[in-house]
Amino acid sequence: MPSLSSLHFKNRLFYVLLAAGGLVALAGLYAVHMMESHGHIISGMNNQIVWGIPHVFAIFLIVAASGVLNVASIGSVFGKAIYKARAPLASLLSIAMLAGGLTVLMLDLGRPDRIIVAATNYNLTSVFAWNVVLYSGMFSLVVLYLWTMMEQRMNPWNKPAGLAVFAWRFILTTGTGLIFAFLTARQAYGSAVLPPMFIVLSFAWGLAVFHVVQANIYAWNEKQLDPAIMNRKKNLLGVFVIGSLYMVAVYHLTNLYFSHRVGFEHFILRDGGIYTNLFWWGYVLLGNLVPLALIYLPGLGKGKCVMLASLLVIFGAFALLYVFIIGGQAYPLDIFPGYEVHSSFGDGQIASYTPSIYEFLLGFGGLAIAFIITTVSVRVLNFMPQDKAYIAD
């Protein structure tokens, strides 16, 4: 039982955390205001790198929002008790990250004031327009799913709602991958591997976020996570990390096989400076190999190691998305295959990109929104996983 003084301390800490999150979100809004009044000229984005740091943050949040629901699906769809106990928290995180990611995406628009146009003028052939439906559908379904879990009278509907969420999030992450898969003219994108790659990446990123949040909630409530449960979940993270590394390897290896994409692959894997470094050191080593060592090496794999592994997986996610989104645009479009090309518009040149502070403020603003939603919800409602005595199933 926590003492009275510790309760007072936690009470104050809660408001401090809330204020900190609020300040970061406000800083994000300030960045939006600045970009609204000055235009995107104050961002680092340009006519060559049209999507920048805000998109890295937004896509991380949206992909992780889908992946974190894996915890819920294993519980509701496959009936595993320890995951079922965590389904409410996973659903909450999904809603929070989706809200954060979509906010960033919307506020980075050139005309965010016209966002309603996306609903009133709908282009059926646009995967962006499909995503408008997929994202709003996801919100509604996850809220419904939470309702079936938290309201006893709705419990009988839990399984069908869980199934619907399970199917929907696969389609949603497919939609996110398709944003890039449909860009046929660009060497970096236009690959059918991308939707499944994003789905597997979402598993690893979502579970990593879940681990970090769960560890904090247990610490806050001064409870210990059953080591057997921790063991199972860290093994799952390990499998997901291996799976995502495999998908990324397949994507690059298939590109290397097509001679018209070899130049792009050499750029990312060998000659690309920041992109090459971020890929090998940031994504492969820190984002995959070190977490795998922390999980599987004998003597490691305990609470702190899993926490560190999860944080590194999240770091690796940002590194990979930076390489994928910005590196993919930095490499010039091959408008005239077989020719050397020069122009005043950067044709044939590697585009340069220096992200501005406003882009980071907007990105962190999105993270702050996810943080605020999670922190407030965890305090006012019961999202603490309630484990029965653990029995392997």
Partner 1 sequence: MSNADIQRRNFLKTTLGAAAVAIAPGMLLFEAAQAKSDGADSKVRWGMLIDTALCKEGCNDCVNACSRENGWKNNNLPTDPQWMRKINIKDISSGREISLPMMCQHCAHPPCVDVCPTAASFKRADGIVLVDKHRCIGCRYCMMACPYKARSFVHEPLHDQNPDVPRGKGTVESCTLCVHRIDQGQQPACTEACTNQAILFGNLNDPESAIAKKILSVASVQVRADLQLNPGIRYQGL
Query: Which residues of this protein are in contact with partner 1, per CB under 8 A?
Result: 38-41, 46-48, 50-51, 109-112, 114-115, 117-118, 121-123, 125-129, 132, 179, 182-186, 329, 333, 335-336, 338-347, 351-352
What is the spatial distance between Cα 323 and Cα 316, in angstroms, rounded to a whole number?
Answer: 11
Q: Are 54 and 93 in contact (CB under 8 A)?
A: no
Give CA 153 to chain center in angstroms.
33
The nearer residue to partner 1, 126 or 224, going by C-beta atoms, is 126
The nearer residue to partner 1, 125 or 152, going by C-beta atoms, is 125
The nearer residue to partner 1, 34 or 215, going by C-beta atoms, is 34
Sort 49 into a burial class: Cβ within 10 Å, 0-12 / 13-18 / 19+: buried
Minimal distance in Å, beta carbon 185 to partner 1? 3
What is the spatial distance between Cα 197 and Cα 179, in angstroms, rounded to a whole number?
Answer: 13
The nearer residue to partner 1, 52 or 301, going by C-beta atoms, is 52
Minimal distance in Å, beta carbon 357 to partner 1? 17
Q: What token pair was written down for 344?
A: 């005043």
Per residue, the 3-state secondary structure of 245-310, as one string, reads HHHHHHHHHHHHHCHHHHHHHHHHHHHCCHHHHHHHHHHHHHHHHHHHHHHHCCCCCCHHHHHHHH
Minimal distance in Å, beta carbon 179 to partner 1? 8
Minimal distance in Å, beta carbon 191 to partner 1? 14
Q: What token pair was written down for 99?
A: 């809200």
Handedness of CA 330, 333, 337, 341 (dihedral sign): negative
Q: What token pair was written down for 326?
A: 């910005």
Q: What is the DSSP letter of 126?
A: -
Minimal distance in Å, beta carbon 123 to partner 1? 4
The nearer residue to partner 1, 130 or 166, going by C-beta atoms, is 130
The nearer residue to partner 1, 5 or 343, going by C-beta atoms, is 343
Q: What is the largest CA-CA distance in the chain?
A: 74
Minimal distance in Å, beta carbon 190 to partner 1? 10
Minimal distance in Å, beta carbon 40 to partner 1? 5
The nearer residue to partner 1, 15 or 345, going by C-beta atoms, is 345
What is the spatial distance between Cα 162 and Cα 173, in angstroms, rounded to a whole number?
Answer: 17
Amino acid at 319: A
